[in-house]
Amino acid sequence: MEKVSVIIIIYKVGRYLRECLDSVTGQTYKDLEIICVVGRGDKACEDIVSEYAAADKRIVVLNPEARGTADARNKGLEAATGDYIAFVDGDDRIKEDMIEVMVSALKRTGSDISVTGRYYLYENRTDGTEENKEQVFDICDAFRVILYQEGFFLHLWDKLYRKELFDGVRFPEGRLVEDRQMAASILLKAGRIVYNSASRYYFRVSKDSGSKIEDNLGQSLKADNEICDTLIEKFGDDIKPAVSFFLVNENLSVIQNSILYGSFSKEHDREYLDYVKSHSAAVKKDPRVSPGLKIKMDICNLSPQLFKLVTLYRRKKFLKTHKEFESGVDWEATFEGQGVA
């Protein structure tokens, strides 16, 4: 049986950590190396991990200085000795058969990356799917799925990777937004990808998550453009419609983010508003584009103020049925203290 190295990034997630560790140590697939990278100085998490490590010899504890998620993931990769690599965030959890299902799919299909569906975990509900549909993609088709947002995305935590994909590759340290560029780089090294749509990873949705720092979407958009340039260079015209769709959608997301953070104005978001307006006509001709997105583009182009009102109304309505978690951590100050920008 091949060994799976599960790298768990842990910092200031004490209230959820036991759920996470129980879900990993309780996997039906037993040949695991569980690498817990605990940021130094987080005593609550250090104590919990020490307790679990004393009871389970598969747990390897690393306790480096807290220098951001990229540094922590690199420390985990350097310690990993498994045939496969998986990432789990310390405030999330996984279904008991997730690793077993992913390993089986990867081996059965001869794929380099196995992807699972995910649950979105709220305080008052869990959103996901029990649909158990398996598909195998070549890399260009996999990126179409990602760009059209028709299944999986450029997350690290819903995937199982052959370890050799990380040979010579490490996360760029000192940056807040490194996940999607790293995920894209690894995907481009793969031969084929198998995706099972059934939800098996529980992603905890927090209103004060580090990923929701206001500047993050702007940085993510910069990364998106770099990724898309690489994809066009590699796949040419075949990928261009998906790229156009994706970048318009991401620019809309940046605008909506500004609205929700209260910083929106035509001047503040002019770059993104202009991008949506100049690319909407071409995107609307794409048969894979939903009527809902076409309407969203039209509203944004015709009246940014109306778009603001619609965005705020939809968010208020959503939060009535979806109560997000609160970590209680000032992530902006935390990352600044770690020298991460």
Could you list the beta-strand ranges (E) of the chain. 4-10, 32-38, 59-62, 84-89, 93-94, 113-121, 126-127, 134-138, 159-162, 192-204
Which of 33-37, 39-43, 211-215 is most confident? 33-37
User: How are beta strands 113-121 and 192-204 bridged, if at all?
Assistant: parallel
Pick 263 or 202 by higher pLDDT. 202
| Contact criterion met (CB below 8 Å) for 228 and 246 | yes
| Contact criterion met (CB below 8 Å) for 117 and 129 | yes
| 325 secondary structure, DSSP code | B
Could you list the beta-strand ranges (E) of 82-191. 84-89, 93-94, 113-121, 126-127, 134-138, 159-162
pLDDT tens-digit series, residues 78-127: 999 999 999 999 999 999 999 999 999 999 999 999 999 999 999 999 99
When mean pLDDT is compared across 77-81, 145-149, 260-264, 271-275, the lowest value belongs to 260-264
Q: What is the pLDDT of residue 326?
A: 86
Q: What is the pLDDT of residue 100?
A: 98
CB within 8 Å of 160: residues ≥ 6 apart: 4, 84, 85, 86, 99, 102, 103, 106, 113, 114, 115, 116
- pTM across the whole model: 0.92
Nearest-angstrom CA–CA distance, 37 and 301: 46
Q: Which CATH architecture has domain 4-207?
A: Alpha-Beta Complex (3.90)
How is residue 198 written in tokens? 């059934």
pLDDT tens-digit series, residues 131-155: 999 999 999 999 999 999 999 999 9
pLDDT tens-digit series, residues 205-247: 988 665 555 566 778 888 899 999 999 999 999 999 999 999 9
Residue 167: pLDDT band (50, 70, 90) is very high
Tokens 């869990």 sit on residue: 126
Nearest-angstrom CA–CA distance, 93 and 106: 21
Q: What is the pLDDT of residue 267?
A: 92
**3-state SS assignment for residue 119:** strand
Structural element, H or E, at residue 246 = helix 240-261
Domain boundaries defined on the chain: 4-207, 213-321
How is residue 173 written in tokens? 């340290």
Residue 19 has pLDDT above 60, yes or no: yes
Phi first, then psi, for residue 162 (nearest 5°) are -65, 135
pLDDT tens-digit series, residues 170-212: 888 776 656 888 999 999 999 999 999 999 999 999 886 655 5
How is residue 297 written in tokens? 């583009």
> For the chain, what percent of residues have pLDDT higher than 90?
82
**302-310 mean pLDDT:** 97
Residue 56: pLDDT band (50, 70, 90) is very high
Chain mean pLDDT for the chain: 92
